[in-house]
């Protein structure tokens, strides 16, 4: 009980410090055979790689629905499968604007599938209205680096 109170207090300090600096409050959760908290160093690396992967995205279902031709039920079904398995979830306390190759987006959450052992295999965002947006044609090199970082960041325990 005492440990949980300490962790809650430390978390509150992080939120207060982030709010005071004007930086968005960000949480990172890695789900590899259950939820794992990344090491402090891995947390920063995973946040950076997640944004890098998103920025490399050429197409998304919000801006390019005619190109991707994915129905809302198909997008939501794939999203549910990704979050039911191994994934990385970056959550912002308030939406942030992120520029991608395919255009600028408002993002509340980045969800990256880690279903393959060799690279990140899916990329979604949740927009400011809570809609699931699928992204396609993103950097394979960053996807490989991110998958390795996810394994290393929680595997060192």
| Residue 1 belongs to some domain of the structure | no
pLDDT tens-digit profile of 104-137? Answer: 999 999 999 999 999 999 999 999 999 999 999 9
pLDDT at 33: 78
Task: Mark 50-65 as b/e (b = at least 16 C-beta within 10 Å).
Answer: bbbbbbbbebbbbbbe
In this prediction, residue 91 has a pLDDT band, given cuts at 50, 70 and 90, of very high
pLDDT at 22: 59
pLDDT at 39: 82
pLDDT tens-digit profile of 9-27? Answer: 334 334 434 444 555 688 8
pTM over 0.75: yes
| Residue 6 belongs to some domain of the structure | no
| Residue 46 belongs to some domain of the structure | yes
Task: Answer yes or no: is pLDDT of 53 > 90.
Answer: yes
Q: Which of 14-18, 34-38, 64-68 has the highest mean pLDDT?
A: 64-68
The mean pLDDT value of the chain amounts to 84
| Residue 3 belongs to some domain of the structure | no
| Residue 62 belongs to some domain of the structure | yes
Q: Which two tokens stand for residue 58?
A: 């050429």
| Residue 83 belongs to some domain of the structure | yes
- What residue numbers bound the domain in which 131 lies? 24-155
- What's the structural domain count of the chain? 1
Q: How many CB atoms lie within 10 A of CB 122?
A: 22
What DSSP line would sit under 62-117, residue for residue?
TT-HHHH---HHHHHHHHHHHHHSSEEEEEEEEEEEEEETTEEEEEEEEEEE--SS
| Residue 11 belongs to some domain of the structure | no
Task: Answer yes or no: is pLDDT of 6 > 70.
Answer: no
Q: What is the mean pLDDT of residues 67-77?
A: 92
In this prediction, residue 150 has a pLDDT band, given cuts at 50, 70 and 90, of very high
Task: Answer yes or no: is pLDDT of 8 > 50.
Answer: no
């Amino acid at each position: 009980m005492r440990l949980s109170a300490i962790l809650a207090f430390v978390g509150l300090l992080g939120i207060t410090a982030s709010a005071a600096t004007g930086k968005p409050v960000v949480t990172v959760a890695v789900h590899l055979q259950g939820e794992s908290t990344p090491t402090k160093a891995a947390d920063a690396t995973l946040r950076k790689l997640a944004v890098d992967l998103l920025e490399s995205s050429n197409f998304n279902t919000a801006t390019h629905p005619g190109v991707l031709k994915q129905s809302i039920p198909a997008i939501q079904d794939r999203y549910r499968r990704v979050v039911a398995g191994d994934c990385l979830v970056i959550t912002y306390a308030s939406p942030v604007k992120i520029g991608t190759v395919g255009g600028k987006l408002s993002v509340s959450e980045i969800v990256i599938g880690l279903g393959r052992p060799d690279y990140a295999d899916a990329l979604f965002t949740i927009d400011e209205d809570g809609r699931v947006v699928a992204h396609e044609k993103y950097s394979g090199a960053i996807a490989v680096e991110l998958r390795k970082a996810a394994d290393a960041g929680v595997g060192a325990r």
